[in-house]
Structure 1
């Protein structure tokens, strides 16, 4: 079965793997709202002007840098959202293609640090480093071709990490050694990047959920002592099958939490523990319906309690200050400001 990529055309790739799945109808359970903590006015929309956003990162000015996957015409982009909700395109022309299975291949997540944007291109397997230290409001968009990058995909494929060989660079974080660690959703692995030396290595491999279902690592953070990694899981995206893994600084992988569905990202919570995003609940009831149930995504804590439900295909959550978080919906094209 091919490895899943997160995009608005997600369902197309699923049908390619249907022959590997259990033929029984999958009864999907919508996320429970009974333990919701957040009131409606505590989840205000910062912007609803985004187009197929995938990842975001917040700088010291409170600006939110966002990747947009495009529509398949090599029109992936990076935009900046200011604290007042104004959106401006900063870089344009990143790879964006309609793949043979009908999904969009394009940008993954990005990470801001010290005036530099580290941008993942899952389609072409590249790690871009864009200097935005002197960027200011009103600057004209710059072409992606002007941004330096490191080719990651050839290395990943050379390591024979998946069958068939695949790579989909999805999310990244800095480790305690100052190096970048990339969650590759295609290779089911964490790739370590010594950016200064342009040196690449396989830091850890994420085990399959079972012999038929791949893990598909998505979000990754370092919490001060260990790495934590969310998993989407592969088709059929069964309810409760997604896990959070922990990885020691020496690369030892173990299960941290279980019982989630289609996880896409995570962040540390001010109250302790984590907040995670679930993309949505998947229903496989052919010929009636095959796909993600509308508004079935949610934000939950690592105990599984719903914090914010009824969301449309969530792909990122970032902590802005001790009790404020931004939640990114690729389905709705929004960033919500969440108080928790």
Structure 2
């Protein structure tokens, strides 16, 4: 996997569940949507309904090499979708979106995230998870772009081509890979994370003024742990940023999955201030895929897996970081498996896309009245808010944007 992308390709094959935190009581949750194909981002629309992107299952079209699975190809199809959840029902309201996946529908890239502007217009980040050079093999596709959609006509138009930007500029000066994974609307600007390019982008909602405003750095492990034991020599890993949230202080906060070998406790949350300066806001996490602030300024972080992905345990966690730095595990395991995104509803409940690496088995959970256990902050750094893959191939690559999928 060119572990530049998501470490979540979704590393549909491996994944995990030990966070190094104290065990928490299980919060209560209900399943409000199921049968989804590799669900990713979710958000509430102006009508109060919940909208979820499904990365799809690929198809029988042209193929490109998989950066994460040796000697395998990701093949194109139009199985991506957006599902609307409301009034006790779920319905796909946008279909035919581009999707790339292995023949079994895993290791998927496609619609990754959705957000609405002030007028109610939806914008969608469409992943890709490979070298943009290969896209020509797939024909005229919107993989690797940001699009805007019309649900009434089941149509969409391209807004910006992040994959082309990576191909032309490669801001992090690493492997050329693009996997747009999340976005937010900030006034007339779209702020987007490319998990493959390791960059944070800004552009106008009309697609103009596209530019990289921050690059997330690699880190070197002094004592890396590999599936086969391996060497303890220093090893550089990809950052694999996965989500961006705007804090109450106006800064952007970015979650990090990290690349192979997906070290436990090494994922960070970065803060990008208005001056463009990057600092570590909080650390000590494992494979983060999403962030969300509540009305009180508490930050919620979502762990895709609590153990290194290659250990094969898919249990994830929802962790609350209070404004004073206190950490609380809201839910860990107990049905929470390879979660990819979360959002806070007006009702105060936490909504999570669950099993985001699985075709036909994805869910949306509603977590209510959570019981939780505060965590010690002694092992974490927190800055003030105001201020089935081939191991060899994985080592040589970048986390495919949640690998591919995320992700």
- Asked if TM exceeds 0.5, the reply is yes
2:147 corresponds to 1:128: yes
2:168 corresponds to 1:158: yes
Aligned match for 1:103, one of 101, 107, 123:
107
Compute the TM-score of the two structures, normalised by the length of structure 1. 0.82
Q: Match of 2:341, SS?
A: strand
Match of 2:92 in 1: 89
1:103 offset after TM fit, Å? 2.4
Aligned match for 2:329, one of 290, 306, 319:
306
5 Å-filtered alignment, 1:225-236, equals 225-236=250-261
Please identify runs of 4+ aligned residues in structure 1 that moved more than 4 A: 30-33
Q: Match of 2:165, SS?
A: helix
Match of 2:304 in 1: 279
Q: Which runs of 5+ in 2 are unaligned?
A: 60-76, 129-142, 221-234, 371-407
Q: Distance in 2 between matches of 1:127 and 1:170?
A: 10
Q: Distance in 2 between matches of 1:89 and 1:291?
A: 34
Aligned match for 2:247, one of 223, 234, 259:
223
Contact 1:218 1:264 in 2 (8 A): yes
Q: Distance in 2 between matches of 1:51 and 1:28?
A: 22
Q: Distance in 1 between matches of 2:10 and 2:165?
A: 28
Q: Match of 2:219, SS?
A: coil
Q: Match of 1:95, SS?
A: strand
Match of 1:167 in 2: 178
Q: Distance in 1 between matches of 2:199 and 2:164?
A: 14
Contact 1:174 1:222 in 2 (8 A): no
5 Å-filtered alignment, 1:1-340, equals 1-5=2-6, 6-11=8-13, 29-30=18-19, 32=21, 34-36=23-25, 39-40=27-28, 43-73=29-59, 74=77, 75-84=79-88, 86-98=89-101, 103-113=107-117, 114-123=119-128, 124-132=143-151, 135=152, 142-143=154-155, 146-161=156-171, 162-175=173-186, 178-196=188-206, 198-210=208-220, 212-224=236-248, 225-283=250-308, 290-294=310-314, 296-302=315-321, 303-310=326-333, 311-321=336-346, 323-329=348-354, 330-331=356-357, 332-339=361-368, 340=370
Compute the TM-score of the two structures, normalised by the length of structure 2. 0.69
Q: Distance in 2 between matches of 1:191 and 1:96?
A: 22
Contact 1:11 1:291 in 2 (8 A): no
Match of 1:20 in 2: none
Contact 2:241 2:257 in 1 (8 A): yes
Q: Distance in 1 between matches of 2:206 and 2:178?
A: 22
Match of 1:24 in 2: none
Task: Report how many residues are paired.
Answer: 306
Q: Distance in 2 between matches of 1:63 and 1:209?
A: 40
Q: Distance in 2 between matches of 1:234 and 1:283?
A: 10
Q: Which runs of 5+ in 1 are unaligned?
A: 15-26, 136-140, 285-289
Q: Distance in 1 between matches of 2:350 and 2:3?
A: 33
Say which structure, 1 or 2, has more relative contact order (CA 8 Å, 6+ apart). Answer: 2
Q: Distance in 1 between matches of 2:108 and 2:311?
A: 16
1:163 offset after TM fit, Å? 2.0
1:204 offset after TM fit, Å? 0.7
RMSD value over aligned CA atoms?
2.5
Contact 2:3 2:260 in 1 (8 A): no
Q: Match of 1:155, SS?
A: helix
